[in-house]
Chain A
Amino acid sequence: MGYVAVKGGAAAIDNAAIFALHRRAGGPSSPLETAQIREQLHFAVDRVMGEGSLYAPDLAALAFKQAAGDTFEAAFILRAYRTTLPRLGYSQPIATDGMRAIRRISAAFKEIPGGQILGPTADYSLRLLNFDLQEESPERTQQMIAQLLKEIPHAKPLPRRFPKVVAMLRREGLLIARKPVAGNNGDPADVTRQALSFPAPRSARLQTLARGETGGLLALAYSNMRGYGSIHPVIGELRVGFLPVLFKNPINGLLESIGEILVTEAEVIARIGDDQGPAMFSLGYGLCFGHNETKAIAMAVLDRAMSGQAPEVPSEDQEFVLTHVDGIESMGFCNHYKLPHYVTFQSELDRLRKIQNDPRPEEDTCP
Chain B
Amino acid sequence: MPLTTAMPTQPNLPSTHWRAGMPSARKRYSYAFLDEGAKREIRRKLLKAVAIPGCQVSFGSREMPIARGWGTGGLQLTLSLIGPDDVLKVIDQGSDDSVNAVNIKKFVRNVTGVPLTTDTRVATLIQTRHRIPEEPLHANQLLVFQVPIPEPLRLVEPSERKTRRMHAEADYSRMWLYLYEDIVRFNEITVGARYPVMVNGRHLMDPSPIPRWDVARLNQSEALLLFCAGREKRIYAIPAHTDVEPLSFEDFAFRVENFHGHCCSRCGCAGSFLDEVIVDESGRRTFICSDTAYCEKMRRRGAAADAAQEENR
| A contact residues vs B (CB 8 Å cutoff) | 1-3, 5-10, 12-13, 76, 79-80, 82-84, 86-90, 187-188, 190, 192-199, 250, 319, 323, 328-329, 331-336, 339-344, 346-351, 354-355, 359-367
Contact = CB atoms under 8 A, between A and B. Distances in A.
Nearest to A7: B97
A336 B70 contact: yes
A363 B188 contact: no
Interface string B126-159: 0001110000000000000000100000000001
Given A89-B3, A323-B160, A354-B188, A343 B94 contact: yes
Interface string B178-205: 0000000011111111100000000000
A335 B70 CA distance: 9
Say whether chain B's binding surface is mostly helix, strand, loop, or mixed: loop
B220 interface: no
Contact of B70 (A195, A339, A349): A339
B265 A364 contact: yes
Contacts of B129: 339
B67 A332 contact: yes
Nearest to B8: A86
Nearest to B289: A5
Contacts of B295: 5
B266 A319 contact: no
A360 B260 CA distance: 7
Contacts of B262: 363-366
Nearest to B186: A355
A9 B98 contact: yes
A90 B61 contact: no
Given A341-B209, A347-B213, 10 more contacts: A2-B280, A83-B63, A86-B8, A87-B4, A89-B5, A188-B1, A195-B61, A331-B68, A346-B211, A346-B276
A5 B188 contact: no
A350 B65 CA distance: 36
A53 to B, nearest CB: 9
Contacts of A8: 97
B292 A5 contact: yes
B227 interface: no
B275 A346 contact: yes
Contacts of A192: 60, 62
B95 interface: yes
Contact of A195 (B94, B97, B193, B233): B233
Interface string B92-125: 1111011111110010000000000000000000
A343 B211 contact: yes
Interface residues of B, number: 84
B277 interface: yes
B286 A351 contact: no
Contacts of B288: 3, 5
Contacts of A336: 67-70, 148
A340 B92 contact: yes
Contact of B93 (A187, A342, A365): A342
Given A333-B68, A342-B93, A343-B211, A83 B62 contact: yes
A360 B262 CA distance: 9
A198 B160 contact: yes
B89 interface: no
B252 interface: no
Given A13-B102, A195-B59, A359-B258, A3 B192 contact: no
A132 to B, nearest CB: 40
Contact of B103 (A13, A76, A329): A13
B96 to A, nearest CB: 9
Nearest to A327: B68
Contact of A343 (B1, B3, B4, B131): B131
12 contacts: A9-B97, A9-B98, A13-B102, A13-B103, A89-B5, A90-B3, A192-B60, A332-B67, A342-B290, A354-B258, A360-B260, A364-B287
B286 A2 contact: yes
B29 to A, nearest CB: 6
Contact of B35 (A2, A13, A84, A187): A84
Given A187-B1, A329-B68, A343-B290, A80 B93 contact: no
A87 B275 CA distance: 46
Contact of B160 (A319, A339, A342): A319
A347 B193 CA distance: 6
B266 A5 contact: yes
Contacts of B106: 10, 13
A87 B41 CA distance: 15
